[in-house]
Amino acid sequence: MTQVYFDNAATTAIRPEVISRMMEVMQDIPGNPSSTHAVGRKAKTVIEQARKTIASYLNATPAEIIFTSGGTEADNLIINSAVRDLGVRHIITSPIEHHAVLHVVEHLQSNYDVKISMVAIKECGSVDLDNLQSLLESNSEKTLISLMHINNEIGNMLDLEAVCTLAKNHNALFHSDMVQSVGHFDINLSELPIDFIAAAAHKFHGPKGIGFAFIRKNSKIRPLIFGGGQERGSRAGTEPVHNIAGMETALILAQENMIAERKHIEEIKWYFKEQLENKIPGVHFNGNCHDGTKSTYTLLNVCLPVSSDKALMLLFQLDLKGIACSKGSACQSGSDQGSHVLNAFLANDKLDKPSVRFSFSHENTKEEVDYVVDTLKQFMS
């Protein structure tokens, strides 16, 4: 059976070079990086070299990179610590954030009397920056803005420079979940005065279970996980040396191949959009994913003109045909409440129809697009 993987926003396949590097580290570097003997120091060297590499691609300093188990832990570390350690009493976020952010702020609101403000979302699914400014102007307490750079379901891109300016003008801190950005876009943190970001290796063809937080120097954030003094005292626990080395290799390859792979992925995305429009009348694209200037090049969120009775079987039928895609974030795949992102801005007539996220990598082909479009057309006939 044909197998098509169009769910790269959920996770990407690990590059062979990354697997080779991880195997090399597991076989040849067995030491605990906290040990002071030669074997331990060799493992520590791998970690610190990876930290330098990642920092160099972000134009940050190595001390500002803290390794975590992934994007969720990084978001939790940053947001919780901002309240506990930095005096934040007001958090501005949006209803279209990943649950790694939304559930944290809900917890802080319920248990620590932190005020939460939800910035308005426009009809296109983008953050209303005028409303963000109003929320900042109407509050005098120490504020953290937490807004993702690229929405993982609809692909809309946040104007980082505009939010940085608003944050600076109102003495607010700015955290951005960049899980869908790092490895796909050049990020220069010396030019963008963002205070905190989160990233995950498995979104750019690295291993699962490893990511990092960027915490701008002198932020004085304390750890969430206590124990040893790993990660300069910011995150206890023996570091997974092989995963960190794998993430370093994955980011090196993502950066080196970014231009060529972006060109290929863009061709796949726009060819897919064109074929859908030509063969499925009434198809609709959610958010700004149809606009190359306002969205990432890696995904399309497609609303299909399917009756409600057929809609329930859509993903099941696609799966039977060997097509991997998603109705939203993989983290909520078992939910029957629909996408909280689409619920935040879509009109009822669109919410009544099935929406599917198709997300792409350099490994996808136009032949796969043809197969998926033909499968959709057959299903809807």
**Could you give the CA distance from residue 15 to residue 32 in angstroms, rounded to a whole number?**
26
* Annotated active-site residue in 164, 289, 325, 331: 331
Whether residue 104 contacts residue 79, with contact meaning beta carbons closer than 8 Å, is answered with yes
**Could you give the CA distance from residue 24 to residue 36 in angstroms, rounded to a whole number?**
21
DSSP string of 27-92, one letter each residue:
HH--S-TT--SHHHHHHHHHHHHHHHHHHHHHT--GGGEEEESSHHHHHHHHHHHHHHHH---EEE
**Could you give the CA distance from residue 77 to residue 116 in angstroms, rounded to a whole number?**
18
Residue type (1 letter), 153: E
Element (H, E) at 144: strand 143-146
Closest C-alpha among 373, 156, 381, 153 to residue 271: 373
> Is 331 considered catalytic here?
yes
Q: What is the DSSP letter of 233?
A: G
Question: Among all residues, which ones are annotated catalytic?
Answer: 331
